[in-house]
Amino acid sequence: MFDVVVVSVPDTKSYYFLSPNELELKKGDQVLFESDNGPFVGTVCKEVYSEKKSNLVLPLKKVIRHIGETDQKTITKNANLANKALEDAKKFSKSLNLEMNFVDSYLNFDGSQMFLSFLSDDRVDFRDLVKKLAQKYKMRIELRQIGVRDKSKKIGGLGPCGLFLCCNSFLTDFNSVSINMAKNQMLALNPSKINGICGRLLCCLGYENETYTESKKSLPKVGFVMDTPEGMGKVVDIDVFGNTYSVDLGDKGIMKFPGEKRIEKNGKNR
């Protein structure tokens, strides 16, 4: 078991599992920590706890120290410089006739490296743009092409449910979401209903998909012709939450049966 603290970084919308380095850390503390791209500032979002070795990527990066009052000047300076570089990147890309829609920019704490993210429909040769920015700002420049889901994660907003976007609030990775999930949950396949503000399928389609799959195991498929206590009939509807299904029995009309008590003999799909 390893002692671990979880730190979030607003600029990258990422979470890091770090060694507390024998420091006293509590939720909400601002700290400076090591990363593959130099030192970054983050906020402790989960206090020190024990984690299995198999769940971690070793060796763990360390928390360096708490952020002090003098560090706030550096943080503000870096933010201002990143904003200025973002405006310059937009101007330079336009002069170079590059189709790039810049989203954000940020620096690591020591100002040795700058990161800019952008959207584009095609692959972009931005080598000349990087040279221009590097010449002006005298630091390493890294441009990252992102997708529309990544843009929503960075910018945020409100989803169709009226709550803040999951990707901007708590999701750390984008799991695969397919149209079959919407079908499995019997949702109307209307893009305005099942797509998020990013234009892609709603991430939340994956939240309950497994529950629907398990619940449906005790229910027949719609269209199934089967034998029931009231005779043969065709399944016309299922209620996943109520664990019931409705069968058209012809002259007897449509009757509802509980899923756990159904009698299915030689059923077939029509």
- For 18-55, what is each residue's pLDDT tens digit? 999 999 999 999 999 999 999 999 999 999 999 998 98
| Average of per-residue pLDDT across 119-134 | 94
Mind listing the pLDDT tens digit for each residue in 186-219?
999 999 899 999 999 999 999 999 999 998 988 9
Looking at the chain, the whole-number percentage of residues with pLDDT higher than 90 is 74
Residue 180 vs residues 186, 194, 196, 205, 237: alpha-carbon distances, Å: 10, 12, 16, 10, 19
pTM for the structure as a whole:
0.75
Name the H helices within the chain: 69-95, 127-137, 148-155, 166-169, 179-184, 191-194, 209-216
Position 13 scores a pLDDT of 79
Q: Which long-range contacts (CB under 8 A, 24 or more apart) does 209-212 make?
A: 209/181, 209/184, 209/185, 212/184, 212/185, 212/240
Question: Contact 151/197 with Cβ under 8 angstroms?
Answer: no
Residue 270 has pLDDT above 50, yes or no: no
**CATH architecture of the region 72-146:** 2-Layer Sandwich (3.30)
How is residue 71 annotated by DSSP? H
Residue 56 has pLDDT above 60, yes or no: yes
